[in-house]
Amino acid sequence: MIWLHATRCTRPTRWARAVRRRLEFAALALLACGPTRLAGQQLAEVHVSPTGEVRTIASALRLARDGGRVVIEAGTYREPTILVTRSVEIVGNGSPVIDGEGTHALFIISADDVTVRGLHLANVGSSYVEDRAAIRVQAVRNCAIVDNRFTGAFFGVYLANVDGCRIEHNVLRASNRTETTSGNGIHLWSSRNVTIAGNDVAGFRDGVYFEFVHDTEVRDNLSEGNLRYGLHFMYSDDCRYLRNTFRRNGSGVAVMYTKRVEMIGNHFTQNWGAAAYGLLLKEISDAKLEGNVFYRNTTGLVADGANRIVADGNSFVENGWAVKLDASTVDGRLTRNNFIANTFDIASNSREPSTVLVGNYWDAYRGYDLNRDGIGDVPFRPVRLFSMIVERHEPALLLLRSAFVELLDAAERVLPAMTPTNLADARPAMRRLQ
């Protein structure tokens, strides 16, 4: 009996010890392999791979610590919309494809100091009920979207209520053929201090669109083949546009309800169509246009309600109309511009325009320079009587190359009667200006 009692007392003790040893071994194993499992949110860098331990971007973002880095290896990733809620750097290695399968947005970023670099963002798909974007950034500071490729996008990059962000060196492509099924390549709303530089945007409704944007710089971008505008902005004061090219869009650039805009060194090229233009300035004030080239547009520059614009050192070459000045445009100055091979240099529907012309080069000028100072001795009046006739009766363009029109122009030069007498360049340049 004594032996039996001892046996019954010792067996539970040995069993308990064996269980305890097994638990201790399991705990050590978890500690050995556990940084990913237990302490993953504190990792400085997480790698995502189709065959690796972490296979989704959403999982990697949960594991990465604030200020950490997520590296996405080459491959194709199909996930629901990815929410970025902490400050991280998302970097593609080998141009991984993030595929929306035509059904949803790809990234929604709601954290400060997020960088997205080196990704191929594809197949967002059109929507009639939401502004669906490959990358949407909202209410943040200091984001960076750099060196990415967008294909099959509805909206490419959509920024709302952001401050201090950069969109640089991205290639954005859309494939929809109508304005109603297309979004904008780069879309900004209610933002400031944004830099948009070195991007290549094509095939969207508007290549770049701003509304209520301030203190922003757009430079060295190509916006080409967009359905409506290469660049379209409204209520966006104190912004600068430098060295961009707007080519073969429905229209080049539309600027509306804006103050103190600067456009310097841009190219407005081959924007053709019944109502197309290189640049429209509508209801704006104190705009500065300097060193731009307007080449082969239906109309180079349209000024409608544009007050106190200063256009200096621009070139208008082979346009239908180089400049159209609406009667609502007042106190403008056109100085040291080149007007070369345009069908009509300037058209105006005002009898007494207040825009001043000084020191421009006009290839249609037939005056002389007796003292050889490079300035014509007689004023040049660039508004042709025939342009005023065409303004009222467009079918009259059929007579453009006729002897009748040449006779009409000669008569108006000798005895100007109907064209605006105060819209004249008193100091026309004799040679093309640099």
With 50 as the cut, is the pLDDT of residue 147 above it?
yes
Question: Does one domain contain both 264 and 235?
Answer: no
Is residue 391 a part of any domain in this protein? no
Q: Is residue 259 within 8 Å of residue 281, measured between CB atoms?
A: no
CA dist., res. 219 & res. 198, Å (int): 7
CA dist., res. 218 & res. 234, Å (int): 15
Work out the end-to-end distance of the chain between its first and last CA atoms, rounded to an integer number of angstroms. 118
Q: Is residue 306 within 8 Å of residue 329, measured between CB atoms?
A: yes
**Sequence-distant (≥ 6) Cβ neighbours of residue 301 within 8 angstroms:** 277, 278, 279, 281, 289, 294, 311, 316, 322, 323, 324
The confidence score (pLDDT) of residue 383 equals: 84
Q: At what angle do helices 403-414 and 385-392 cross, to 10 degrees?
A: 120
What's the sign of the alpha-carbon dihedral 386, 387, 392, 395?
Answer: positive
Question: Does one domain contain both 264 and 211?
Answer: no
Write out pLDDT tens, residues 38-48.
344 579 999 99
- Listed in order, strand segments (DSSP E) in 35-170 are 43-48, 64-73, 76-77, 82-84, 88-93, 97-99, 107-109, 115-117, 120-122, 133-138, 144-146, 149-151, 155-160, 166-168
With 70 as the cut, is the pLDDT of residue 29 above it?
no
Is residue 213 a part of any domain in this protein? yes
Residue-range definition of the domain harbouring residue 150: 39-249
Specify the range with the lowest mean pLDDT, choosing from 21-25, 171-175, 223-227, 277-281.
Answer: 21-25
The confidence score (pLDDT) of residue 129 equals: 84
Residue type, 159: L
Question: Does one domain contain both 182 and 239?
Answer: yes
Q: Mean of the per-residue pLDDT values for the chain?
A: 87
With 50 as the cut, is the pLDDT of residue 3 above it?
no
- What is the average per-residue pLDDT within 412-416? 62
Question: Does one domain contain both 79 and 175?
Answer: yes
Question: Does one domain contain both 235 and 327?
Answer: no
Domain stops at, among 232, 249, 266: 249
Is residue 319 a part of any domain in this protein? yes
Question: Does one domain contain both 214 and 307?
Answer: no
Residue type, 170: N
The confidence score (pLDDT) of residue 125 equals: 87
Number of helical H runs and strand E runs in the chain: 4, 39
With 90 as the cut, is the pLDDT of residue 287 above it?
yes
Domain stops at, among 249, 266, 288: 249
CA dist., res. 39 & res. 59, Å (int): 13
Is residue 272 a part of any domain in this protein? yes
The confidence score (pLDDT) of residue 180 equals: 82
Looking up residue 151, the CATH number of its domain turns out to be 2.160.20.10
Q: Is residue 341 within 8 Å of residue 364, measured between CB atoms?
A: no
**In the structure, what pLDDT confidence band is assigned to residue 115 with cuts at 50, 70 and 90?**
very high
Question: Does one domain contain both 196 and 262?
Answer: no
Token reading at 191: 């933002």
The confidence score (pLDDT) of residue 162 equals: 98
Question: Does one domain contain both 59 and 183?
Answer: yes
With 80 as the cut, is the pLDDT of residue 412 above it?
no
Specify the range with the lowest mean pLDDT, choosing from 35-49, 121-135, 207-221.
Answer: 35-49
Write out pLDDT tens, residues 183-205.
999 999 999 999 999 999 999 99
Is residue 12 a part of any domain in this protein? no
**In the structure, what pLDDT confidence band is assigned to residue 414 with cuts at 50, 70 and 90?**
low
Specify the range with the lowest mean pLDDT, choosing from 24-33, 57-66, 150-159.
Answer: 24-33
Question: Does one domain contain both 269 and 243?
Answer: no
- Listed in order, strand segments (DSSP E) in 215-320 are 217-219, 222-224, 229-234, 240-242, 245-247, 251-256, 262-264, 267-269, 279-285, 288-290, 293-295, 299-307, 310-312, 315-317
Question: Does one domain contain both 78 and 192?
Answer: yes
Total domains, the chain: 2
Question: Does one domain contain both 202 and 60?
Answer: yes
Domain stops at, among 249, 282, 312: 249
Specify the range with the lowest mean pLDDT, choosing from 268-272, 273-277, 327-331.
Answer: 273-277
With 50 as the cut, is the pLDDT of residue 270 above it?
yes
Backbone angles phi, psi at 411, to 5 degrees: -65, -40
Question: Does one domain contain both 235 and 296?
Answer: no
CA dist., res. 427 & res. 336, Å (int): 10
% of the chain residues with pLDDT over 70: 82
Length of the chain: 434
Is residue 144 a part of any domain in this protein? yes
